[in-house]
Amino acid sequence: MSYKAKFRVWRGESGEGKLEDFTVEVNEGEVVLDIIHRLQATQAPDLAVRWNCKAGKCGSCSVEINGKPRLSCMTRMSTFSEDEVITVTPMRTFPVIKDLVTDVSFNYEKARQIPSFTPPKDVKPGEYRMQQIDVERSQEFRKCIECFMCNNVCHVIRDHDENKQSFAGPRFLMRIAELDMHPYDVADRKDMAQEDHGLGYCNITKCCTEVCPEHIKITDNALIPMKERVVDRKYDPLVWLGNKIFKR
């Protein structure tokens, strides 16, 4: 069964723009990205939208639908009532390039700042042995499709551009936690998380976890354990004594 839906889509460039109204056909089984494509095909040929897989796996099609970050390819039109106005806007935390396409290079810069897996020098390839529980812990984090909706929704940077310098966002604090939990990683991830990537800014509001399309428990399984690891280091009496003696 087809019907006509009311769409409001943000149109503009470099942050200057406005919402435009459209009435557009919807068919059974369609998702929001189908409707955006129909708008391109019938009414707005220059409407810019980023997408790739249309299967919830590439993380390209992140937008805000009625104010909530969502993958447009995974948001079924049946989620909404037929008379509801559906507002589609670009992710708010990142600068707009055009229409629904944002410049997410902030995320790539943060990714580059985190040193990669650093194994001990004396362990040769083929000699790595891990407990299943350690494998499972990092496997959860590796389900990330880099849609950046968690970084988009985190209040630390969503309304505070000035924090972007010192806060990597949940996606990359989770990456640091993943490496810190890896039994063969020898880099100092705890100081890195706290001092360079702003772990202390996170006040565990869990908005990041709520929007993750891969249902990764970012806050409970990565951020809170990482905070505990940092605190353990800080208040460990032996570490404290060591710091007193050797940092004189």
Q: How far is the CB of 148 from ligand F3S (least distance, A)?
A: 12
Reduced to 3 states, what is the DSSP secondary structure of residue 69? Answer: strand
Q: Which of 9, 181, 208, 216 binds ligand F3S (CB under 6 A)?
A: 208
40-69 binders of ligand FES (CB under 6 A): 51-54, 56-61
Task: Kindly tell me which of 175 and 227 has the beta carbon lying closer to ligand SF4.
Answer: 175
* Site track 179-218 with ligand SF4 (rule: CB under 6 A), x = hit: --------------------------------xxxx-x-x
How far apart, in whole angstroms, are the C-alpha atoms of residue 143 and residue 154?
19
Tokens 């990092």, residue located = 138
Q: How far is the CB of 212 from ligand F3S (least distance, A)?
A: 10
Q: Could you tell me the end-to-end alpha-carbon distance of the chain, in angstroms, rounded to an integer?
A: 76
Between residue 96 and residue 115, which ones bind ligand SF4 under the rule CB under 6 A? none
- Angle made by CA atoms 66, 70, 74, in degrees to the nearest 5: 115
DSSP 135: H
223-236 as b/e: b if 16+ CB within 10 A: bbebbebbeeeeee
Cα 9 → chain centroid:
22
Q: How far apart are CA 222 and CA 227, in angstroms?
A: 9
**Does the footprint of ligand F3S cover residue 59 (CB under 6 A)?**
no
Subset of residues 121 to 160 that bind ligand F3S, contact rule: CB under 6 A: 154, 156
The reply on whether position 231 binds ligand FES by CB under 6 A is no
User: Per DSSP, what are the bridge partners of residue 25?
Assistant: 4
Type of residue numbered 69: P
The interface partner of residue 172, options being ligand F3S, ligand SF4, ligand FES, none and the CB cut-off 5 to 8 Å by kind, is none
Say which entry of ligand FES, ligand SF4, ligand F3S, none residue 154 contacts (CB below 5 to 8 A, set by partner kind): ligand F3S
Binding site for ligand SF4 (CB under 6 A): 144-150, 171, 211-214, 216, 218
